[in-house]
Amino acid sequence: MPSTLAYPAYMPAASAERPLAGLTVLMIEDSRFASEAVRLLCLKSGARIRRADSLLAAQRHLTVYLPSVVIVDLGLPDGSGLDLIRSLATASQRIPVILATSGDDSRLAEAADAGADGVLSKPIESLAVFQKAVLDRLPPAQCPDGPRLVPSEIVAPDPVAYHDDLAHIAEVLNGSEDEPTLDYAARFLAGVARSAHDDVLEQAAERLAFSRETGRSFGPDLARLAGLLQERLESRAVI
């Protein structure tokens, strides 16, 4: 990471109502639905947000500016978010808050070992949980003075973003039985479905992932998942 990068010169003052004002959040996430949830949380908290949908796109962002907070999804289309977390955690100009997120809670334990300051389990939808995850790890000088409000709001991303995610992964699959593609699609769909509270699709994606991991025959699981995916794309009744 170049040493010439700097934070913005103008930092709006944080307040109890907008405790993340002045912060820039970089969300590294390939799901539009999950990213939209974090966008809404940032909007309500006063933070700016930028999104990268891959490790390559994240590196491009990080050569231009230094965010205050980075949220890294662990399953990205071009590699593991753990590799990026390790790089960011050991950088000479360290980002103040590095958070990991995943639709699979069992993977989040690895994030701390990689250097993450904390984790956000999907779905990321509670304003209070989001703000606390950031504020508890910020340097004291960047936190608002006085007591904090504890908001009860839960954000609800536009269902169109979920439909777009499903359409994207259907295009990625498109009859492919390439092993890396299947593994990525199963992880992606499990995380997206969990964020959207689509339990049936989440379970089908997890079943395919389990069959792949254990070397079992996965044809029926893939067919089941493809059928559910097609049903949702045809009906648009995705949530």
Residue 25 has pLDDT above 70, yes or no: yes
* Mean pLDDT for the chain overall: 90
Q: Say which DSSP state 148 is in.
A: P
Contacts of residue 205, defined as CB under 8 A and 6 or more positions apart, other chains included, come to 185, 186, 187, 189, 190, 193, 225
> What's the rounded Cα separation, in Å, for the pair 38 and 167?
21
**Looking at residue 71, what is its pLDDT?**
98
**Looking at residue 3, what is its pLDDT?**
44
Residue with structure tokens 């709001």? 153
Q: Strands, E, within 38-164: which ranges?
A: 48-52, 69-73, 75-76, 79-80, 97-102, 118-121
- Residue 27 near residue 58 (C-beta atoms within 8 A): no
- Residue 201 near residue 85 (C-beta atoms within 8 A): no
**Looking at residue 219, what is its pLDDT?**
92
- Residue 51 near residue 27 (C-beta atoms within 8 A): yes
Q: What is the mean pLDDT of the segment spanning 71-97?
A: 95
| More confident: 205 or 139 | 205
| More confident: 224 or 150 | 224
Q: What are phi and psi of 50, to 5 degrees?
A: -130, 155
**Looking at residue 26, what is its pLDDT?**
98
Task: Tell me the sheet residues that pair with 119.
Answer: 100
Q: What is the mean pLDDT of the segment spanning 209-225?
A: 93
**Looking at residue 2, what is its pLDDT?**
44
**Looking at residue 15, what is its pLDDT?**
78
pTM of the model: 0.89
The 10s digit of each residue's pLDDT in 88-116 is 999 999 999 999 999 888 889 899 999 99
Q: What is the mean pLDDT of the segment spanning 153-160?
A: 95
